[in-house]
Amino acid sequence: MKKKILLCLAAIGTASMLFGFDSAETAESVLEKMQTASTETPPEAAEIDMDVNVDLSVDISDSTTTSSIGIGASGSFALEANADPMAMSMDGTLNMSLLGQSESLIMKVYGVTSEDGTLDSYVYTEDSASGEAGTWQHGSSDLAGLSADDMLEASADLDLSEWGINFELAPEAVTVDGTECYLLTTVVDSSSFETILDKASEISGNDLTSDPNTEMVMSMLSGVKIKIEYYVDTASYQPVKFHMDLNDSDLSAISQYLAMSMGEMAEGSSVELTLNDISVDASIAYTDAKEIVVPEEALAAPESISDSMVGEVENALEEIAE
C-alpha cells in the first residue's frame, strides 16, 4: 500500500509556474502539466491527513417486519512519505461496528529503504477491546530494480483516458484553506471498470474477462460509481486535497448476491444493502524530506511478513512505460 501511495503522490505532485486561475486551461492541459512537472521537480516529501468513513446497513424484510444490520467504520490516519529514497510512516486508528459491537484498532506502519535497495516494512496493530499490548511484524522487499525515477517516468507516460478515466475541469476556481485551486473531477463506473479490465488483459497478455470469478465481480460492480475529486493549487499544480466517495452507487446487484449468499436466512424475504456513506478525504502538504526513524521495538521484531507485490508493480510499470 505504501508504495502505491508514494507513486500516486509523485505522479500528481508538481512545481509549475502558473499563478492564478487560468480559464483557458482544460482538464487535459492541467493533467499534462502535472505529469510533466512530476518528472522535473517532484516534491521531496508529503504529509497527508486522511479520514475514512463507511456507513452501511443490510435490511432484511418479510411481509411484516424489517431487521437491519448496521455496518460502520471510521478512521483517521496521518502519513509522512519521502520520495527518494522511499520511506514512510503512518499512525492511525480504525473504529469498526457490527451488530451493536464495536472495536477499535490502533495502527502504525513504517517503511524505510536500506542501502542495498531493500524496503523494510514494520506494521503494528493493537486491538483496544482485547486489553492486550499490540505486536510488531516485519517484512522486506527487494526494490533494487524499482526506483522513484522509474515510477515517475512511467506515471508521466500514463494516459488515463486509455484506462477509461476522463477528468472534467470546473469552470471556476475553488478555494481550499485559503489556496486557490483547480477542481478536477471524474466518475469511475461500470464502463470504466470494463475498459480497465480490457487494458489489463492487453498488458498481461491474458484474457482476464474469461475468468468466472471476474465475471461475477464485474456483475456486482455494475451499479457502483466512484466519484473522485482533486483540488490542485493553481500556483504550484500540486494537489492539496482529495475526495472520493461511492455515494451515488446503485447496490442492487450486490444486494442480490447477498440474498443468494444468505440462503435460508433470507428465504421468502427481500434483502437490501443501504449505502449511507462510503468516503475518503485527504489533505496534502509538501515539505522537505524528513528523517523517518523506526522505533527500537519494531526493529527488534522478527521477519514475519513478505511483500510479493513489488515484482508485479515493477512489471506493470515497465509495460505501461513501453
Q: Residue type for 294, please?
A: V
pLDDT digits (tens, 9 = 90+) for 81-133: 998 888 999 999 999 998 778 889 999 999 998 877 788 899 999 887 666 77
Residue 270 contacts by C-beta under 8 Å, 6 or more apart in sequence? 60, 61, 62, 259
At 51 the pLDDT is 97
Please tell me the distance from the alpha carbon of residue 140 to that of residue 122, in angstroms, as a whole number: 9
What does DSSP assign to residue 301? S
Exposure on the CB side of residue 247, measured as CA atoms within 13 A: 12
What does DSSP assign to residue 171? S
pLDDT at 13 over 60: no
Least confident range from 37-46, 219-228, 243-252, 271-280: namely: 37-46
Please tell me the distance from the alpha carbon of residue 183 to that of residue 139, in angstroms, as a whole number: 39
Question: Cell triple for residue 201?
Answer: 488483459
Please tell me the distance from the alpha carbon of residue 86 to that of residue 25, in angstroms, as a whole number: 33
Least confident range from 46-55, 59-68, 143-152, 204-213: namely: 143-152
Mean pLDDT score of the chain: 81
Q: Is 138 helix (H, G, I), strand (E, B) or coil?
A: strand
Please tell me the distance from the alpha carbon of residue 252 to that of residue 90, in angstroms, as a whole number: 36
Mean pLDDT of 146-152: 56
At 53 the pLDDT is 97
Name the residue ranges covered by the structural domains of the chain.
2-189+224-321
At 44 the pLDDT is 87
The confidence band for 29, taking pLDDT boundaries of 50, 70 and 90, is very high
The confidence band for 14, taking pLDDT boundaries of 50, 70 and 90, is very low
At 15 the pLDDT is 27
Q: How far is CA 11 from the centre of its chain?
A: 14
